[in-house]
Chain A
């Protein structure tokens, strides 16, 4: 399984239009040798789940910059579980430190903040996928 080409979905949920960060992350993951399925703006939990099924994704990355993470993050995690999918969900963007624990408790695999270096982004995604594969 380890030589398997990693496929990662990147998306933004709802009306959050700040997409500079997600484009940078897409490029970082591409340059780390991953296949990024870029869904872009205005996605719904249902459209992301459908794409994850069709694309057989190894991880889902959500970019959030409008303070909706405590509402939308757990909703996305629930939608993934409800669909019977076992795919790690990673949130990147503006998330205050004190909210991270709540997100992790809600089933989000990792949270990346604005200071995250490229290596950290790649390692976080890889670790989340490996943890899923081992489970």
Chain B
């Protein structure tokens, strides 16, 4: 245990000094999980909590990577040393993945920036399990801001809003009518809207539907509750059109969060969520161990024989975890 702790500490110290390869290895260890990942997360947590985290989300093919590439260029040109975490899905069948976000970013990255591709490895919700720890690690070694690009999402994958300070939702023309825009889910968590591919037919319709959706938030009282109305930016990321406006909107939103004190609320909520997730993980893995044990086989047999219900078995298992020291 001490040797793995020493190895992690040595890698962490060298990553703080700017050794990119060490940071690459630390990210791998975080993804792999286990004791080593915990040690790294502990080290990172102590010195993190400062960087601004921007989440970019939207449907597959909406232009998230291309927009991220543009932002990478603008932030780099402004002298920021930023990190990008690009998440793509793992195959549910084989666990393999094609991580192809870099092809839209590499040419635009400054020498100081750091791009890491990450597969979801079975996690749903638009992000990978290792994302929060990876963000803390980037933060700890001095990257500012950190951009997370989610997998292509549908209506409900809103994990990114919990992980990010500023959530950018990318939509494209033809995403549906005003009723679609008013459904609960993804569109609700946006701090900034980007209507990408704005040269295509229907772009102004998309904008109008979003404006209308936000207007109704004004009527319903949601806007007063949040005290903020997300801007809508028309963009064509392939040509770089609108990217500077997105950058300005991210900076304004960061300023709004700081001035209103909401940044503290968001960050506290994020840490609470991380604790909750880790509790669920711990209990979940202990429960899996029990199910694979002799004790678990007994429960399974009783459920199969209709002697007890799955809910009763679950309660008993959780009970045995809680009474165990």
Indicate whether B1 reaches chain A with its CB closer than 8 angstroms: no
Interface string of A1-37 (1 = CB under 8 A from B): 0001101000000000000000000110111111111
- Please pick, from A38, A50, A54, the residue contacting B103 in the complex, using a CB distance under 8 A: A38
Indicate whether B264 reaches chain A with its CB closer than 8 angstroms: no
Alpha-carbon separation in the docked complex, A26 to B96 (Å): 10
Indicate whether B270 reaches chain A with its CB closer than 8 angstroms: no
Contacts of B117 in A (CB 8 A): 35, 37, 55
Contacts of B94 in A (CB 8 A): 30-33
Residue pair A40, B95 in contact (C-beta under 8 Å): no
Contacts of A130 in B (CB 8 A): none
Indicate whether B258 reaches chain A with its CB closer than 8 angstroms: no
Contacts of A56 in B (CB 8 A): 21, 24-25, 27-28
Q: For residue B20, which residue of chain A has the nearest CB? A: A53
Residue pair A5, B102 in contact (C-beta under 8 Å): no
Residue pair A54, B98 in contact (C-beta under 8 Å): no
Indicate whether A66 reaches chain B with its CB closer than 8 angstroms: no
Contacts of A40 in B (CB 8 A): 100, 103
Residue pair A54, B99 in contact (C-beta under 8 Å): no
Residue pair A38, B99 in contact (C-beta under 8 Å): yes
Indicate whether A47 reaches chain B with its CB closer than 8 angstroms: yes
Contacts of A117 in B (CB 8 A): none
Contacts of B31 in A (CB 8 A): 5
Within 8 A of A (CB), among B70-128: 90-91, 94-100, 102-103, 106, 114-117, 119, 121
Q: Which of A31, A38, A39, A85 has the most CB of B within 10 A?
A: A38
Contacts of B32 in A (CB 8 A): 4-5
Alpha-carbon separation in the docked complex, A93 to B27 (Å): 32
Q: Compute the total of residue contacts between A and B using a CB distance below 8 Å.
A: 74
The size of the chain A interface, using a CB distance under 8 A, is 28
Q: Take A35-B119, A54-B20 as given contacts and tell me if A26 and B98 are in contact as well, using a CB distance cutoff of 8 Å.
A: yes
Contacts of A43 in B (CB 8 A): 106
Contacts of B103 in A (CB 8 A): 38-41
Alpha-carbon separation in the docked complex, A53 to B25 (Å): 8
Residue pair B95, A54 in contact (C-beta under 8 Å): no
Q: Take A55-B116, A56-B24 as given contacts and tell me if A30 and B121 are in contact as well, using a CB distance cutoff of 8 Å.
A: no
Q: Take A5-B32, A54-B115 as given contacts and tell me if A27 and B20 are in contact as well, using a CB distance cutoff of 8 Å.
A: no
Residue pair B114, A30 in contact (C-beta under 8 Å): no
Tell me, rounded to whole Å, the shortest Cβ–Cβ distance linking A111 to chain B. 23
Q: For residue B88, which residue of chain A has the nearest CB? A: A35
Indicate whether A70 reaches chain B with its CB closer than 8 angstroms: no
Indicate whether A51 reaches chain B with its CB closer than 8 angstroms: yes
Alpha-carbon separation in the docked complex, A29 to B91 (Å): 12
Tell me, rounded to whole Å, the shortest Cβ–Cβ distance linking A1 to chain B. 10
Tell me, rounded to whole Å, the shortest Cβ–Cβ distance linking A94 to chain B. 23
Interface string of B219-233 (1 = CB under 8 A from A): 000000000000000
Tell me, rounded to whole Å, the shortest Cβ–Cβ distance linking B237 to chain A. 18
Q: Take A30-B91, A55-B117 as given contacts and tell me if A35 and B96 are in contact as well, using a CB distance cutoff of 8 Å.
A: yes
Q: Which of B20, B25, B117 has the most CB of A within 10 A?
A: B117
Q: For residue A52, which residue of chain B has the nearest CB? A: B24
Alpha-carbon separation in the docked complex, A7 to B127 (Å): 18
Residue pair B102, A53 in contact (C-beta under 8 Å): no
Q: Which of B20, B24, B96 has the most CB of A within 10 A?
A: B96
Alpha-carbon separation in the docked complex, A85 to B20 (Å): 12
Alpha-carbon separation in the docked complex, A13 to B78 (Å): 30
Shortest Cβ-Cβ A-B pairs, 9 listed = A30-B96, A56-B24, A40-B103, A56-B28, A38-B100, A33-B94, A33-B96, A53-B21, A33-B95
Q: A36-B98, A37-B102 are in contact. List 7 more A-B contacts (CB 8 A).
A: A31-B91, A31-B96, A33-B95, A53-B21, A54-B114, A56-B27, A84-B21
* Chain B interface residues (CB < 8 Å from chain A): 20-21, 23-25, 27-28, 31-32, 90-91, 94-100, 102-103, 106, 114-117, 119, 121
Could you show 26 A-B contacts with beta carbons less than 8 Å apart? A4-B32, A5-B31, A5-B121, A7-B28, A26-B98, A30-B91, A30-B96, A31-B94, A33-B91, A35-B96, A35-B97, A35-B117, A35-B119, A36-B97, A37-B102, A37-B117, A38-B102, A39-B103, A51-B102, A53-B20, A54-B24, A54-B114, A55-B117, A56-B21, A56-B25, A85-B21
